Structure 1
Amino acid sequence: MTDPRVPRLLEAMRSVGTGLEPDATLERICRTAAELAGARYAALRVLDEEGGGGVSASVTYSVPDGVPDGSPPAHPPTRSFVRAPVRVQGEAFGTLYLAGKRGGGEFSTSDLRMVRVLAAEAGIAIGNARLYEAARRRERWIDGSVAVTTALLSGGDTDDALTVVAEQARRLAEAAAGVVLLPADEGLEIVAVDSDDPEAGKALGVVVPRASPVVERLLAGEAVYVGDAAGDPRMREVNAALARPYGPGMLLPLWSGGRVLGALAIPRAPGARPFTGAERALAARFASQAALALMVAEAQRDREQLAVYEDRDRIARDLHDLVIQRLFATGMTLESVQRGSAVPAVRDGVAKAVEELDTTIQEVRTAVFALQQGPGEAPAGLGTRVLREINMAAVPLGFKPSYRFVGPVDAAVGELTGKNLVAALREALSNAFRHARARRIEVVVDATARLADGTEGVRLTVADDGVGVPEGGRRSGLRNLARRAESLGGSSRLEPGLGAGGAGTTVVWEAPL
């Protein structure tokens, strides 16, 4: 004889299969099972997805006059009690419990069959709900990755972009905090924090030491998953850096192109559930996407910076090849006018104008050096600066002076002494061009020289084969050389040059190291 409740069973199966929200589906299964079997109480225990045998959730239902809501007791208070396993795609999902047959008595075999049929249908409905929830979760993580990529590639402030990474990671993982750490000399430095805790911002700038086990693994490109941070020694340094305890967490390397660009920490509150395998996989992909976006943003900034440097080099070349040459030519014209004038006032005025031009040329050269050096670079070594002066002097001279370095020029000569030595070299080369009409110039920088008093020093020698220092000519440049040397405790002098019979001039400038 057909059970008169079959139509109700079919209707119940249809009801269970409607809707795709996981929590609502579980509640509907409990209510439908209780109504169909005439039970006062129904419960569905959901197994831990990680397969550890634990219970991740319990959903209960009771009729208004039934037993109160609560976890299903280990020993039901009534004699009538049935249970049926719920399987999702062949795997155990949980157990459906019914207790307290309304009207008294025991659950019948027919009740048990209907509950089992309903449990099978529930497995299908739960499977669909799980697929739907997984798709929604993946979509959220993808949207979060897009937001991070957009923020990092927008060309805005890097700190703001890293804060977006922390915000999205925290929101998507339903965590208590999102933390971005970047490599520092001592370990990993906290550079962005997103949390409801107003005190969390104090962690910015704190460094988790490199010796920490978790930092060692992150810098090696390994992810760290913590089930209970309170009892896990790997999280002690992280919790200490954040100045508060956290519960289960994920620590993921920002790894791309064989490089660890940083790390992402996503801890939950104490006592919260651990992250599931699916959540770990999604978070790992999010971290990989964020790392790739970081690398692309870094490459983009490098390209922009390179474009700026190329433009600066072009400006420096124009200043060097055009402006300085014109200033030199103007200076030579004025000196010709000075020599041809019989009026003392005119000669003095022209001489003053020539000195102003010399000063302007030095200032333009300084600007050229600044343009050729990046803003974040350390000052170039002394050897490099000497070569720059020689190369720049080659244009007006029409040939490149020869040069030689003796001893550890860059390491031995201090910054102040080196700065004055370069200025002395510039003055000596300028004099050789404007007055000496030299065809050969030799420059020597000796960092192993012994000064007249026996102390260690650096000696600059600029020798030419020109006409020498003319009698009655201006000597302001030579006085500048002497003043620079004397201010450092050194000296400056003139010696015979490279020409036949000592023709020409050799400028010797020296100062203590």
Structure 2
Amino acid sequence: MPEPPVRPERPLLPQMRLDELLTEVQARLADALSTRDRLHSLLEAVVSIGGDLDLATVLRRLTKAAAHLVNARYAGLGVVDHNGNVSEFIPVGFTEEQFRRMPHYPRGKGLLAYPTRERRSLRLSRMQDHPSFHGFPEGHPPMTTFLGVPIQVRDEVFGNLYLTEKYDGGEFDEDDEAIVSALATAAGVAIANARLYEESRQRERWRSASTEITTRLLSGVAAEEVLAYLAEQAREMVDADIAAVMLPDSQDGYLVAEIAEGAGAKELLGMAVEVEGTECGSVYRRGEGVMVADLRELALPFPPEYDFRPGLLVPLGSPHHARGVLLLGKAGLSSPFNPAALGMLSAFSGQAAVALELAEARHDAERLVVLEDRDRIAKDLHDIVIQRLFASAMTLMSTVRMIADPEAGNRVQRTIDDLDETIREIRSTVFALQATTEVQEASLRGRILTTVENAAHTLVCRPGVGLDGPIDASVPDDVGDHVLAVLREALSNVARHASADEVHVSVQAEDGELRLEVGDNGVGIPEQGRRSGLRNMAERATGLGGHFAVSPRAGGGTLLEWVVPIG
């Protein structure tokens, strides 16, 4: 039987070519769909950014949208000032722990300044290889890939978008650069509108607050109330977490937080900062405000639970004529203050200087009235009361010789002696009334009473005060300054930590030593707590050859004893 004919094999090449074509079509469809999705996401981002006039919200949405569009793990928007430095930084993707490891935000140096300087995008597969690789703070998370795009508002570079580390581990490509550049271009218009709205809103708020302060000043409201209103308005206008009005003490050696608004306000009241050698003191002396990148660098005695970093120090008054300092701070993960806020608040805080000037003038006028009344009373006591008492005593003295009964004579003589003692006491009162208020306030006794009075509003009770011995005559000036500093720190600790409703202050000068005691009925000193304040008080005592002790008080609470020699 013959074999069937062999059929020729079908060629495979056309089949393989068809598969390749189908695969390419699918890939192009996938690219088209991906491009459509990204364009759709871009349009959604542009609409979202342009749908709000609040500048902070616009910047935050812009940063998040850029990270989402290119699948970036980390993103940041650095707002630049007129010097090209980053004045505000909006982060995305960072954890709180990562930020706590960094001393400050990136400040727009080195690699981060490239988009601003060159006004064009920068895309790198390994940023460490770039010759300008620096400008990242210590503790910054490790990053490799990089995409930086400038944001221009008309001809001005508003800031830069920084993106690093794609989630899939890949590098940023041309499409990523193009879509972020398109987002930045569209965002420029939204940012310009938001800035105009923000400036008009700030001007309106400033005008309203200034009018309110002027109204309160003219109506005779107390300076403390006006300053409290100023601190509240300033904190709200610049979106700060804390605001404190720091005024000089009677000796102009310390700035004391007399008024505080916001987080930790109660703990901040009474905080004292030396004028000499500190940034706060420099602002107070020069009358020029400053922005502070990290308030922790100023070593201010903030409670440890409040992590204030970005800060503003604004003088209350004109240059070389400041009456105090307005301190504002933001919590650790907040963006720095806008530089424009410093100029605005400097003008606004001038209102506070007017409040203090008017309060001082009103106080001087009231003191003049008191002094005039005291002078009139002293003259009446001297010219009328003493003369009448003296005449009565002379009449009784002439009558004694006419009394035959010895017992009656003795009674009259005792009455004459009582009149002499009364005359001496009235004369002493006259001398006290004629003493000037300035002399009383300059004395150590007066300064101690003023310090206690200033601290009283931070406590839930008014402290009792006992002053014994020749304090003004026997205590040297340098020791007096130390005792005031220790007293101020002790009362501040009671206000912040003791939860006491009874406080007593005792100052004694006797047997060649000065003894300061501050007792309270509070919760006592915790085992685990800050000891820097107590250490400073101990060092002051040791430096003067004395000693310092803190012990539980009988019946509950704490007793602080600070003793130094004065003989």
TM-score, with length taken from structure 2: 0.44
Normalising by structure 1, we get a TM-score of 0.48
